[in-house]
Amino acid sequence: MVALGVLVPLTHGRLGRVWRHAASLEQMASSLAKNPSQTALLDHYWQHHRAVDPSHVLPPSAGLPPSPSTAHARRSSDATLWPAHEHNLSPQHPAWSLTRLLDVFGPLVFPIHRAAVLRKRILISCHAPLHEVCDFVYDFSILSNLPLSIAHQLPPSSHTPRLRPLFAVGINDIAFLTQLSQSRDAAGWIACTTDSILAVKDTLWDVLITMPPAQSSHPQATWPVVESSSRAPIKATQRDLRRFRSLRSGLARIAAAPTSSPVPCAPLQDEAAEEPRFDQVVEPQTWASLAYDGYMWWASAGEQFCAEEHQEAARDAALLADLASPVPSPCSSSRRPSSVQASMPDPSASFPPRRRASDADTARVELALVTYFHRLTSQMLSVMANLINAYPDPYHDESDQDQESDDDDHDDDDHDEDHDDAELLPPSQDVPVLRLDGTFLEAMGLDVWSSADAAFVHDLAAVYFDRRARVDVKGLEVCGVRVC
pLDDT digits (tens, 9 = 90+) for 428-453: 455 678 888 888 999 999 999 899 99
Could you give the maximum distance between any two Cα atoms of the chain, in Å?
90
More confident residue, 339 or 86: 86
State the pLDDT at residue 175: 94
Q: What is d(CA 364, CA 367) in angstroms, rounded to the nearest whole number?
A: 5
State the pLDDT at residue 427: 47
State the pLDDT at residue 297: 62
Mean residue pLDDT across the chain: 75
* 156 to 4, 112, 151: CA distances (angstroms): 43, 26, 10
261 within 8 A of 361, measured Cβ to Cβ: yes
Q: What is d(CA 430, CA 467) in angstroms, rounded to the nearest whole number?
A: 10
Q: What is d(CA 444, CA 289) in angstroms, rounded to the nearest whole number?
A: 18
Q: What is d(CA 3, CA 25) in angstroms, rounded to the nearest whole number?
A: 9
Q: What is d(CA 434, CA 454) in angstroms, rounded to the nearest whole number?
A: 13
Does position 400 have pLDDT exceeding 70, yes or no?
no
Question: Predicted confidence band at 480 (pLDDT cuts at 50, 70, 90)?
Answer: low
State the pLDDT at residue 262: 46
Span 320-342, mean pLDDT? 46
Does position 456 have pLDDT exceeding 90, yes or no?
yes
Does position 106 have pLDDT exceeding 50, yes or no?
yes
Least confident of 42-56, 118-132, 142-156: 42-56
Span 370-398, mean pLDDT? 81
More confident residue, 362 or 234: 234
Does position 177 have pLDDT exceeding 90, yes or no?
yes
Question: Predicted confidence band at 213 (pLDDT cuts at 50, 70, 90)?
Answer: confident
What percentage of residues in the chain have a pLDDT greater than 70?
63
Span 471-479, mean pLDDT? 65
More confident residue, 302 or 153: 153
State the pLDDT at residue 332: 38
Does position 342 have pLDDT exceeding 90, yes or no?
no
| Residue ranges in 319-437 assigned as alpha helix (H) | 364-390, 398-408, 412-424
State the pLDDT at residue 362: 60
Indicate if the alpha-carbon torsion angle 99, 103, 106, 111 is positive or negative: negative
Span 404-420, mean pLDDT? 50
Per-residue pLDDT tens digits for 33-54: 999 898 899 999 999 888 876 5
Which helix or strand (DSSP H or E) is residue 41 part of?
A: helix 40-49
State the pLDDT at residue 266: 43
Q: What is d(CA 473, CA 449) in angstroms, rounded to the nearest whole number?
A: 6
Question: Predicted confidence band at 324 (pLDDT cuts at 50, 70, 90)?
Answer: low
Least confident of 82-91, 128-137, 163-172, 186-195: 82-91
- Write the DSSP assignment of 2-39 as a string of letters: --------TTSTTTTTGGGGHHHHHHHHHHHHH-TT-T
Question: Predicted confidence band at 194 (pLDDT cuts at 50, 70, 90)?
Answer: very high
116 within 8 A of 143, measured Cβ to Cβ: yes
Does position 358 have pLDDT exceeding 60, yes or no?
no
Coil vs helix vs strand at 471: strand
State the pLDDT at residue 62: 41
- Look at phi and psi of residue 16 and say left if phi exceeds 0, alpha if psi is from -120 to 50, else beta: left
Per-residue pLDDT tens digits for 457-474: 999 999 999 888 888 766
State the pLDDT at residue 11: 73
Does position 242 have pLDDT exceeding 90, yes or no?
yes
Residue (of 122, 114, 207, 202) closest to 167 by Cα position: 122
Residue (of 319, 226, 286, 253) closest to 447 by Cα position: 286
Question: With b meaning 16 or more CB within 10 Å and e meaning fewer, what string describes 123-150?
Answer: bbbbeeebebbbbbbbbbbbbbbbbebb
Does position 191 have pLDDT exceeding 90, yes or no?
yes
What percentage of residues in the chain have a pLDDT greater than 90?
35
Does position 206 have pLDDT exceeding 90, yes or no?
yes
